[in-house]
Amino acid sequence: MAMRTTRKANYPQWYQEVVSEADMAENSSSPGCMVIKAWGYGIWERIQRVMDEQIKETGHENYYFPMFIPLSFFQKEADHVEGFAKEMAVVTHSRLVNEDGKLKPSSPLDEPLIVRPTSETIIADSFSKWVKSYRDLPILLNQWANVVRWEMRPRLFLRTREFLWQEGHTVHANAKEAEDETKRMLEVYRDVSENALAMPVLVGKKPEHEKFPGAIDTYCIEAMMQDGKALQAGTSHFLGQNFAKSADIKFVNQNNAQEYAYTSSWGVSTRLIGGVIMCHADDDGMVVPPCIAPYQIVIVPIFKKPEDKEKVSAYIENLQKQLKNQTSFGEKIRVKVDSRDKPSVDKSWEWIRKGAPMVCEIGPRDVDNNGLMLKERIYLNTPEGKKIMNSDEFVANVGKRLEELQHQMYEKAKARLEQNIRTDITSPEDFAAYFANSNEWIEDGKQGKVAFVRGKWCGDTATEEILKSMKITIRCIPFDQSGTTGKCLLTGKEATLDVIYARSY
């Protein structure tokens, strides 16, 4: 039972419909902000869990810094403020008063405060107090927080004025360590994205004009959505001494000389959930990778006669207990029994729309046969989509099966990515003709009309204008460079850099 809108018919509308039908999030009365609902937040909690573990395993500790940043802190780093000045929420008063029955701001602040769009400046301020000697380095920290960027065209998960993220911030005694850290965390992002989210990514460096404001180098992971557009799924910045200089983070080095420290920062956000949707969901709704599904298995009891209720419930309770003792992805399996007072067919469809990896329907006849009816979400519309299973067999293999389903999701997305990076476009004319097309849904196993092009770029700043006029972007300069020489796809000039061109979210 496909949703009202299919991917082919209207991809952006399909996206909104998936979010809404899966009850993951909705627009709020607070302009440009979203309400993240239980299923959406549950996915975020799973992503947090996996990411947090890796962040801690790589030696970082969680801190929490104020969300209000004094305006003057932004005065210090010119590029940084330029990058964010147009989208800042500014707190100017600390009180409301009632004037003639109307509430008005009162008690103006001496210095306006900015609600953090990112925390480099306020954290650098703390670093400047903490760092005295090379013995204090490195400092490796992370925070989970909300941030604000005043988006004018908000879109659930992808672009909202407030969003949730983690931001890592580190200080090092030399450039190499800071750069290594930047790349280490990019690798963590790649790993989590590919292994927990089943979302394959390209890794590389951003071109100069796409860098984080204030960074020396920005590295990124880029994923391909089902319409061939790119989604920047995470970034990691080598900040050099820029913020150290503006915030005065100095230390005495081993030669007893004062030196500015080197910093890095890196982040991923609730935007990842938008990526997961556009990478995996289908015309029946959301599809959640088992590793990050709030519930991996949902059991729906089926009975018409009240006298069957007890029998079915007892059987399910026992099954649930057995399932909860199984592990998958190194953790206990997450099982939900949906015993709401609602028609079972509606309940099953709700969980399919939400993308629960497995739905088990169990009625009196299944109880008699020690069985169940298994629906695997990713095989929903195939002959194998519904299977009558023996319960013991199901329980014994379920942990491994969930991991297999995850792997199959990854392989499918990986195939789409690989099939849709064009490398055979070598002239500006062919390139322009290719991107004259609009993005549309790419059918599984086929090549889309428009997706990624891997080709040469001369690096001239003038190319920025050409990109803008074509509404495309350079997603990254991949780490794996060919070293060959060819024609820049924008200018026709001789060029050696390989880059990924695409439209993007």
Interacting residue ranges for a copy of itself, rule: CB under 8 A = 28-31, 33-38, 41-42, 44-45, 61-71, 73-75, 81, 85-98, 102-103, 105, 112-115, 122, 125-126, 141, 145-146, 148, 150, 161-162, 164
Nearest CB to a copy of itself, comparing residues 22 and 389 = 22
Listing DSSP states for 136-161 in one string gives G--EEEEEEEEEE---SS-BTTTB-S
Please give the distance of CA 304 from its chain centroid, rounded to a whole number.
42
131 close to 171: Cβ distance less than 8 angstroms: yes
* H-assigned helices in 454-497: 463-470
Q: Which is closer to a copy of itself, CB of 94 or CB of 325?
A: 94
CB of 220 to a copy of itself, least distance (A): 25
CB–CB of 378/287 below 8 Å? yes
Closest approach, Cβ 341 to a copy of itself, in A, equals 8
**Of 16 and 408, which CB lies nearer to a copy of itself in the complex structure?**
16
CB of 339 to a copy of itself, least distance (A): 12
* Beta carbons of 109 and 92 less than 8 angstroms apart: yes
CB of 43 to a copy of itself, least distance (A): 11
CB of 157 to a copy of itself, least distance (A): 12
DSSP SS3 for 131: coil
Question: Tokens standing for 317?
Answer: 């309770």
Rounded CA gap, 174 and 179, in Å? Answer: 9
Tokens of 98: 């009632």
Q: Quote the Cα angle for 236-238-239, to 5°.
A: 120
Residue among 157, 124, 140, 174 nearest 54 (CA):
140
Nearer to a copy of itself, 163 or 452 (CB): 163
CA 466 vs CA 298, 366, 475, 490, 498: distances in Å: 50, 63, 15, 7, 17
Closer residue to a copy of itself (CB): 106 or 438 = 106
Nearest distance in Å: CB 255, a copy of itself: 18
Using an 8 Å Cβ cutoff, are 500 and 453 in contact? Answer: yes
Q: How many CA atoms lie within 13 A of 94 on its CB side?
A: 8
* C-beta separation of 375 from 358 below 8 A: yes
Q: Toward a copy of itself, which CB reaches closer, 88 or 230?
A: 88
For the bound state, the minimum distance from the C-beta of residue 33 to a copy of itself, rounded and expressed in Å, comes to 3
- Closest distance between a copy of itself and the C-beta of residue 256, in Å? 18
Nearer to a copy of itself, 119 or 420 (CB): 119
Q: Which is nearer to a copy of itself, 52 or 460 (CB)?
A: 52
